[in-house]
Amino acid sequence: MADEVLAVEAVPLEEDFDTLVASLAIDDTLEDKLAKLKKNVDEKLADYVDVKHIENDDDFKAAKKYRTSVNDVKKPIEAQRKAAKKKYSDLLKTFDKTIGEITAPIDKLSDEYKAEIDRYDGECRKRRLTALKGHYYDLAGEMGPLVPYERIADDKWLNASFGEVKAKNIIERRVGELLHQFKFVNGLDYADEDEKAWAVAWWTRTLPMDSGEVAAAVAAHREEVAKAAALVSTYEQATAPEPEPVAEPEPEPLPLDPEPVAVEQPEPEPEDPFGGPRCVRAVPSRPEPDAAEDAAPAPQRGYRVVIECATADELRRVRAVMVENGIHGHVERM
């Protein structure tokens, strides 16, 4: 029997560590190279992973030596990382700069188109605005000056994508609602023209969703006016001068009467409880800024009571009368 010959298969060695490090590059093969490098590093650190407790000088020297060996494994890897980073950072900067130069004419041409598009769109928006405003005022009639187009307008109506016909349909519906309320406001039973003017102004300012809010506001306003009139009447009565007493003829002295006869003097006129001024009037509150269309109805306004030549004490007394009578507002001197 012939002697058996044992054949040993040749196994290729792993790539050299230095060769692996030098081959690191950011490309399609980077993932495989990093995996091989990690395996190689693990093998190099295998002899050092068991960190022993230092008990003497020999252990101390050995630990320092082992640490130096461990750091030596990292040094070439870190150097290659920095070199690759610089290489690709510089390349990226060059790439960005070159791409910017290449695309600059594209951006310029695009900007020219945008400027022309914006110019034409602006002209179209102006034309649509003129058309929509004209359509609104044609429908609004005498309500137009009281409720201008801007109170109901929406900027999106001017966009080409929205459509002029669609915008006009919305305007027609809104104007129909407003004209119905406007007719209702003008048809209410008012005490006088001033009250009607107040109601129209209130409706114009608030544009409530429900016509019933107008009637409620008029009723509250009428009550406030009545309270203010009562305040003025109370004040005028309190400050009215007393009538001049009728002067009686002095009695003729009695003849042969040596003693003078006492003549009764008229009682002094009572002091004006409010300190003197005779002119008082209630005037409407200061005008309020226009409210937005969708704003909640404004609370009922109070009244200003204006007194000419009033003293501080008189202002306090009149204010007390207002509070006592439940009248909202404030007092001021002219």
Q: What is the DSSP letter of 278?
A: -
Question: So what's the pLDDT on residue 251?
Answer: 63
Q: How many helices (H) and strands (E) does the chain have?
A: 7, 3
Question: So what's the pLDDT on residue 209?
Answer: 82
Structure tokens at 192: 């006088």
Average pLDDT, the chain: 79
Q: How far apart are CA 223 and CA 203, in angstroms?
A: 18
CA dihedral angle for residue 106, residue 108, residue 113, residue 115, rounded to 10 degrees: 150
* Regions of the chain short of the pLDDT cut 70: 1-15, 24-27, 240, 242-303, 307-310, 326, 328, 330, 333-334
- At residue 314, what are phi and psi to the nearest 5 degrees? -65, -40
- Asked if 325 and 249 count as a contact pair (C-beta separation under 8 A), the reply is no
Q: Which residues does residue 284 pair with via DSSP β-bridges, in sequence order? A: 303
Question: So what's the pLDDT on residue 253?
Answer: 58
Tens digits of per-residue pLDDT, 270-311?
A: 444 444 444 555 555 555 445 444 444 444 456 677 766 667
Tens digits of per-residue pLDDT, 181-232?
A: 999 999 988 888 999 999 999 999 989 888 788 888 988 988 888 888 888 8
With residue 333 as reference, give the H or E element that holds it: strand 329-333
292-301: long-range pairs with CB below 8 Å, 24+: 293/151, 293/152, 293/207, 295/206, 297/206, 297/208, 297/213, 297/217, 298/205, 298/206, 300/217, 300/220, 300/221, 300/224, 300/328, 301/224, 301/328
Backbone angle region of 136, left / alpha / beta, with phi > 0 → left and psi within -120 to 50 → alpha: alpha
Burial class (CB in 10 A: 0-12, 13-18, 19+), 257: exposed
